[in-house]
Amino acid sequence: MKKWYAVIGDPISHSLSPFMHESWFDEYDIDAAYLPIHVEPSQLEKSFEAMKTLGISGFNITLPHKQSIVPLLGKLEESAMQMNAVNTVNFDGTHYLGSNTDGDGFVRSMLAHSVGKASKVLLIGAGGAARGIACALKRAGFTDVTITNRTFRRAEELAAETGGTAVTLIESEERLAEFGVLIQTTSVGLATGEALPISLERVKAGTLVADIIYNPLETPFLKKAEEKNCITLNGVGMFVYQGAIAFEKWTGIQPNTEKMIQLITEKLGGTYVND
């Protein structure tokens, strides 16, 4: 019987997940399909029941369902419990098992740039994405993580939960040269104009500066980092690696991530450069 998978969200037409997973199914000669399904919030439970009835083997979840899907699932992995949010579901034959591959996906993309685990990391933001990355950094063995956020209280709360340190935005700008890695997780890069979450005036050359946004490929934050002779990393790697972890859970196969990063970059109008 042919297996099928999906991504659910509202909206969903913009998702590149179907392109990614269908490409991997073709590459590894797997007889499966992957569909984008538009699910409005009020229809989430009914849609999930319908997918189960139709024998779905696994699916991804994007906004706004990552938290509201949690009580509908039979079991959660540690990553999902820490986040209280799910982006990947796998049917193990008995239960629909929820996990969250976002944070681990980012860390894998970062480690592909030969970042040492002794690096001092500055995490900008304290929302859901920052939480996932902070937890994943801790699981991966990074012990020196500093969190900054516009609302300092939220940075303090996330730092307390993940064993990090919290600083104000002003303090983070003053101490910027101390950090070997900067990770931008806020929505500032999606806005028009040249707004930056923090000033990069004191960043040291050679710092790895990451922005988890992948469309646009180069945010104002990354443009400024390039001007300061930093190494830059956009969100394409995070997107591909989080999908690769899901794909591996479903099929047992570790897919070709480098080739997919190239394909997604080119699909978004960029030029792929293999560092």
**Residue among 46, 52, 66, 120 flagged as catalytic:** 66
Does the annotation list 87 as a binding residue?
yes
| Cα–Cα distance, 128 to 157 (Å, whole number) | 13
Does the annotation list 102 as a binding residue?
yes
Task: State the Cα torsion 11-13-101-95 to the nearest 10°.
Answer: 80
Based on the residue annotation, tell me whether 66 is a catalytic residue of this protein: yes
Query: What pLDDT shows up at residue 192?
Result: 55
| Cα–Cα distance, 97 to 76 (Å, whole number) | 6
Query: What pLDDT shows up at residue 174?
Result: 97
Query: What pLDDT shows up at residue 270?
Result: 82
Does the annotation list 262 as a binding residue?
no
Ranges of residues in the chain whose predicted pLDDT is under 70: 189-194, 272-275
Query: What pLDDT shows up at residue 188?
Result: 78
Q: pLDDT for 60-118, tens place per residue?
A: 999 999 999 999 998 999 999 988 899 999 998 899 999 999 999 999 999 998 888 88
Q: Are 169 and 149 in contact, with CB atoms under 8 Å apart?
A: yes
Per-position b or e across 99-116, b if 16+ CB within 10 A of its CB: bbbbbbbbbbbbeeeebe
Query: Which amino acid makes up residue 211?
Result: D
Query: What pLDDT shows up at residue 42?
Result: 98
Query: What pLDDT shows up at residue 195?
Result: 75
Does the annotation list 264 as a binding residue?
no
Listed residue (215, 264, 261) closest to 274, CA to CA: 261
